[in-house]
C-alpha cells in the first residue's frame, strides 16, 4: 500500500505539471506558432507513437533486472526536463521536440511504475490499486488544469509563464518517487525472458489485438479541445471544459476499479468503450456549444472506467515473471496506434470537416466494445472483496 500511495503522489504532482501545459498546447500551436490542426495531429501522433516503442523494452528490462524504481525515476526526470524546449519554443518544431522528449520519459517510466503497483497489490485487489493510482493521477490533472486557468487569466494569456510554472510540481513528483521501497532482486542477473506470442493466454492476446485496433481510431484528445475552440470557446474556457473532463475522470477512476474487482473487467471495459462512442458521436453532431460541457463530462466517464481497469486486466492475465513486459506491450500498442489515428483525424478534419473525424471515432468505439465481448468471454464476478 505504501508504494501504491507514493507512486500515486508522484503521478499527482507530475500530472499537475503536465496538465498545466497540455490543454494549452493545441491553442498555443495554432494561435501563437502558426500551426494547423494537421500539424497538431502530426506532433501528438508522432510523439506518442515514437515514445511508446520504449514502453515494452522498459518493461522487459524491468522484469529482466528485477528493478523498477530507477527506470521510473529516469522516465519522470526526462519528462520534467522536456518542458524546457516548450517554454522557449520559437516554432512548432520546438514543441515537437519537447513533446517527443516528454513522451520518451513516459515510455521509460510507465511499465516499471505499473509493475510497482501490481507487485504491491494483493490478489483480487488490483482493480482498486490501479483505480486509486488513476484517481490520484487525475486529481493532479484537475489541480493542474485549475492552475493553468488561474495563471493563464492572471497573466493575461501569457502561455510561456504558465509553462514555466509547470516545472515546479514536475520536480516535486520526481523527488517523491525516491521514497519507494524496492525489494532487492534475487539471483541477478535473471535469465533472458522469452517473449513468445504463442505462449500467452488467449484472452490476453485477443485483448491486446482489440486494444491496438481501437487505438488506430482513437486520436489525440487535443482534437476535442480544438473542436471546442472551433465552436467559439476562448482559450480560458477550453481549459475549464478540460477541467470538467478531469473532475469526472478523477471521481470515477477508483470506484470503477473497485467495481471491476467485483463484476469482472469485461463489463466495465465494454461500458467504457460505449461511452467513448457516445461522446464522439456527440462531438460530431453538436451545434450548440453549451452541450460541450456534457460531452466533456461523458468523456471523463469513458477514461475513468477504462484506463485503470485495462491495466488491472493485463496484470491479472500476464505471466508472473513478465508483468512489466506485458504492461509495457499494452502501453506500446496504445501509443503506436496514436500516430496513424491522429494523422487520419487531422486529414479528415482538413478534407471533410471536424464532424467526419468524430463519426469515425464513434464507429471505432462500437467495434471495440463488440470485440471485447468476443475475445474476453464471460468473466465470473469476484465476490471475495477485501478492503483497501
- Whole-angstrom Cα distance, residue 15 to residue 9? 10
Residue 188 lies in a domain: no
Handedness of CA 238, 134, 274, 41 (dihedral sign): positive
Residue ranges making up the domain that contains 172: 2-180+200-376
Residue 338 lies in a domain: yes
Q: In this structure, are residues 45 and 340 in contact, taking their beta carbons and an 8 Å threshold? A: yes
Residue 153 lies in a domain: yes
Residue 190 lies in a domain: no
Residue 358 lies in a domain: yes
Residue 50 lies in a domain: yes
Report the Cα 245 to chain-centroid distance in Å.
Answer: 13
pLDDT given at position 382: 45
Where the chain has pLDDT below 70, the residues are 50, 183-199, 377-388
- Whole-angstrom Cα distance, residue 44 to residue 341? 10
- 377 φ/ψ angles, rounded to the nearest 5 degrees: 70, -175
Q: In this structure, are residues 49 and 335 in contact, taking their beta carbons and an 8 Å threshold? A: yes
**Number of neighbouring beta carbons within 10 Å of residue 170:** 26
First CA to last CA distance, the chain = 8
Per the listing, cell 477512476 goes with: 253
pLDDT given at position 375: 85
Residue 253 grid coordinates = 477512476
- Whole-angstrom Cα distance, residue 212 to residue 275? 18
**Residues near 154 by beta carbon (within 8 Å), at least 6 away in sequence:** none
pLDDT given at position 388: 45
pLDDT given at position 166: 95
Residue 272 lies in a domain: yes
The enclosing domain of 240 has a CATH number of 1.20.1250.20
Q: How many domains does the chain have?
A: 1
Handedness of CA 70, 181, 326, 133 (dihedral sign): negative
Q: In this structure, are residues 74 and 108 in contact, taking their beta carbons and an 8 Å threshold? A: yes
Residue 251 lies in a domain: yes
Amino acid at each position: 500500500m505504501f508504494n501504491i500511495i507514493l507512486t500515486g503522489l508522484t503521478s499527482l504532482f507530475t500530472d499537475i505539471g503536465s496538465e498545466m501545459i497540455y490543454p494549452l498546447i493545441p491553442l498555443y500551436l495554432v494561435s501563437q506558432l502558426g500551426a494547423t490542426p494537421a500539424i497538431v495531429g502530426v506532433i501528438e501522433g508522432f510523439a506518442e507513437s515514437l515514445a511508446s516503442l520504449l514502453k515494452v523494452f522498459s518493461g522487459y528490462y524491468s522484469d529482466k533486472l528485477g528493478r523498477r524504481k530507477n527506470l521510473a525515476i529516469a522516465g519522470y526526470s526526462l519528462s520534467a526536463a522536456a518542458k524546457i524546449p516548450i517554454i522557449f519554443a520559437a516554432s512548432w518544431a520546438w514543441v515537437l521536440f519537447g513533446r517527443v522528449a516528454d513522451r520518451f520519459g513516459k515510455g521509460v517510466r510507465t511499465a516499471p511504475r505499473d509493475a510497482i503497483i501490481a507487485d504491491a497489490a494483493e490478489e483480487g485487489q488490483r482493480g482498486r490499486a490501479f483505480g486509486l493510482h488513476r484517481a490520484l493521477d487525475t486529481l493532479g490533472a484537475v489541480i493542474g488544469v485549475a492552475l493553468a486557468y488561474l495563471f493563464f487569466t492572471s497573466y493575461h494569456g501569457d502561455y510561456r509563464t504558465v509553462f514555466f510554472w509547470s516545472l515546479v510540481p514536475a520536480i516535486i513528483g520526481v523527488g517523491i518517487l525516491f521514497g519507494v521501497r524496492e525489494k532487492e532482486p534475487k539471483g541477478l542477473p535473471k535469465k533472458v525472458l522469452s517473449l513468445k506470442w504463442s505462449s500467452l493466454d488467449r484472452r490476453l492476446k485477443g485483448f491486446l489485438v482489440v486494444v491496438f485496433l481501437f487505438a488506430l481510431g482513437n486520436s489525440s484528445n487535443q482534437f476535442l479541445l480544438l473542436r471546442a475552440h472551433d465552436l467559439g470557446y476562448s482559450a480560458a474556457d477550453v481549459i475549464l471544459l478540460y477541467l470538467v473532463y478531469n473532475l469526472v475522470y478523477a471521481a470515477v477512476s477508483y470506484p470503477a476499479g473497485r467495481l471491476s474487482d467485483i463484476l469482472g473487467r469485461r463489463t466495465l471495459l465494454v461500458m467504457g468503450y460505449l461511452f467513448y462512442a457516445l461522446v464522439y458521436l456527440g462531438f460530431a453532431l453538436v451545434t450548440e456549444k453549451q452541450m460541450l460541457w456534457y460531452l466533456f463530462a461523458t468523456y471523463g466517464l469513458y477514461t475513468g472506467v477504462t484506463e485503470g481497469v485495462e491495466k488491472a486486466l493485463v496484470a491479472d492475465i500476464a505471466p508472473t515473471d513478465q508483468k512489466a513486459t506485458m504492461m509495457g506491450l499494452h502501453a506500446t500498442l496504445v501509443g503506436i496506434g496514436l500516430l496513424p489515428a491522429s494523422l487520419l483525424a487531422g486529414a479528415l478534419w482538413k478534407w471533410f470537416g471536424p464532424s467526419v473525424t468524430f463519426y469515425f471515432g464513434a464507429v471505432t468505439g462500437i467495434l471495440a466494445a463488440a470485440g471485447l465481448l468476443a475475445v474476453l468471454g464471460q468473466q465470473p464476478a469476484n465476490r471475495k472483496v477485501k478492503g483497501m
